[in-house]
A and B are shown apart, each in its own frame.
Chain A
């Protein structure tokens, strides 16, 4: 889109107006998406007095990092942060391995009973047993209050697996046939031919699954009993949501004597801290991301 000097085509006024409008609109859109994040950030570093008065608009006022100090002093946050990282890495690894192991056979036309298996797998997308049966299964498998209760039940996301399968289907069969002729077995084909050709979709899946684990909160809530195993989202949710209801009837039990930090600052500081890792990972995966999803979609 660079402006080359020897461009011949004259730009018409209409086109110019269109461009101006277009850019204005898109800038507005950018503003609308970025501002909430930015707002959360500036509130988290502003003085509580200004925050509670609603005096913060575009710039932080009375800059203080007290909210962050308070957050970091809370040892629970660190522990649960570490838990989240563990759940995300272990969980995503399991997801990727199992999803590709499931997607690959289903992508092969010569797989016996393929349509039946595909149907059975797809069926789970629309019908599920519901919360209580799922809980009972996890309970009877003795997974309650272990990491496995968090990472095993969502081991394969059907939707993601189908995207993956579609992507695999797009890889020419002749490649697999020639590998087969060279003496490779199915696992070798998957490992040496299919996966190296599937980097975009793998990157996409890593992102999909990792975000899902990072944000997952309900399964941790119901399957985990020890506070020491809670992921950070549980803490976050408690701080953000319960803070809202704290005042209903606790009589006078809510006096905050020091207004350097009010609940809002604290909340927003925690939000920033929990969002940052995903924000940092995203730009690196983003180029694969768009590619991966699109390829899957087109060939589907």
Chain B
């Protein structure tokens, strides 16, 4: 007994000694410099070779930028655009790219451990979660006093105020440049309509009739295919049918009380959405597997000629046309103008084009923030934007007579046969556009130019953009107002239980297990669970901002 006691005591002492030793070892490491001091140290002026005046940074300076990398557009180190930036500004951008599939995981760890690179891509919700923690540099004073190009944009786009938190700005929004607008829309096989003498549907009811006729002609077909589940499809169609869904049910309706936030599934109008889908289901027009169909199955249906209609990202129609024409040269998917709903109203929402939700925050511990701010401001200038979207003037683009940048054909045509597409290859080669580090960023503008130069553009595209452009039904999306931390928490709480309840209901009404008259009970329950409180929170936040 005594022996064991002694043994244990010795053991404990041994352990204690080991731990104290370890602790002793660890200490100098921490004293040597706090984590961030270390991380940012190499980012500061590294050597003093280029000391030319007139550039944004007097000395050569490295800035580390972290953003997600999209698989279609691999990011290169120090691509021509970044070399050009270095030439003009003396700032050397060093990219830390993270696969887009897991960008959020890494970002969260860096934010939680306060170990940020100099500049980091964040989303609007990160501002809500981390803005007050002091890890981002507050930018509003710089915008007012030191910035020229960004200030101009800030003032010309009043909606940008919504990216602030309590009146403070923590990230520079990526602003789209000259973006073609489109949105979710109805796309149909127009060649079949012509072949069978069917009118282009002008109302949503006519749409079902047309699809039903096609089903009669092709009994094996599934006229209307969907992908990615019920909720995703309700999001796409609800606004057109007179209700709305947004991302989580709460959306801004221009037509209610002169414009306010509404929780879609808790309104009478939402019944129209469900009964319309129910009608489509009963008529055999809608894919019976609509609720579980994957993107791949959906694509298979559309490109094998089994399905004739989808209401989704309307640009896809052009892809599927290309594929269908391998076997059927006449086949054509084309968007149709938004049909009128049961109230005779045509409405749809554009994608968010001006501000897509991405921002770049600056590490609060950065040295010499003035230079960095000056640099960021330059990124919003015409010169900065041209470089970050078109590359090197004289080599890859020129300025045309209207003062607009244009790609040089000889350069672009080198990528004619590139995969997955010529424009992604050009973007990747130069290190440009919104999937790289650009603050006034192009997407469709550059894409169209490249497609026209490489001959991948077709008349169908022109037709597509004309139809979308002439369709008066589309309205601009409304950016959500910033919520306070408590509000955001409350919204999260309500939505979690509310949507769990609701999402179990939708399919019952679409398939017809429950009659639509029973949906009133669901509305009551949703209101009981806080649907109106949600509306209140959003509308209050909006009102607060407008004051």
Contact = CB atoms under 8 A, between A and B. Distances in A.
Interface stretch (A130-138, A190-198, A208-216, A287-295): A130-138
B304 A227 contact: no
A179 interface: no
B505 interface: no
Interface stretch (B44-52, B91-99, B153-161, B391-399): B91-99
B300 to A, nearest CB: 4
A254 B315 contact: yes
B200 interface: no
B113 A113 contact: no
B351 interface: yes
Given A222-B106, A245-B101, A257-B322, A251 B316 contact: no
A237 B319 contact: no
Interface string B421-451: 1100000000000000000000110010001
A128 interface: no
Interface residues of B, number: 62
Interface string B92-121: 000111111110011001001101010000
Question: Of B102, B300, B316, B421, which is in contact with the most chain A CB atoms at under 10 Å from its CB?
Answer: B102
B23 interface: no
A258 B99 contact: no
Given A70-B419, A249-B351, A254-B316, A259 B444 contact: no
A252 B319 CA distance: 10
Question: Of A52, A131, A136, A218, which is in contact with the most chain B CB atoms at under 10 Å from its CB?
Answer: A52
Given A53-B304, A247-B295, A259-B322, A253 B29 contact: no
Interface string B251-288: 00000000000000000000000000000000000000
Interface stretch (A89-97, A139-147, A157-165): A139-147
B417 A252 contact: no
A101 B99 CA distance: 37
A165 B451 CA distance: 63
B75 interface: yes
A54 interface: yes
A272 interface: no
Contacts of A32: none
A257 B422 contact: yes
A76 to B, nearest CB: 6
Interface in A233-257: 234-235, 237-239, 241-257
Nearest to B36: A139
Contact of A221 (B14, B38, B102, B422): B102
A80 B112 CA distance: 28
A250 B115 CA distance: 30
Interface of B: 7, 11, 14, 26, 29-30, 35, 38, 64, 66, 69-72, 74-75, 77, 95-102, 105-106, 109, 112-113, 115, 117, 179-180, 182, 295-297, 299-300, 303-304, 313, 315-316, 318-319, 322-323, 326, 351, 353, 417, 419-422, 443-444, 447, 451, 456
Given A254-B319, A255-B318, 7 more contacts: A54-B300, A132-B113, A238-B102, A247-B295, A247-B316, A259-B326, A263-B420
Interface of A: 49, 52-55, 66, 70, 74, 76, 112-113, 116, 131-132, 135-136, 139-142, 218, 221-222, 225-228, 234-235, 237-239, 241-259, 261, 263-264, 266
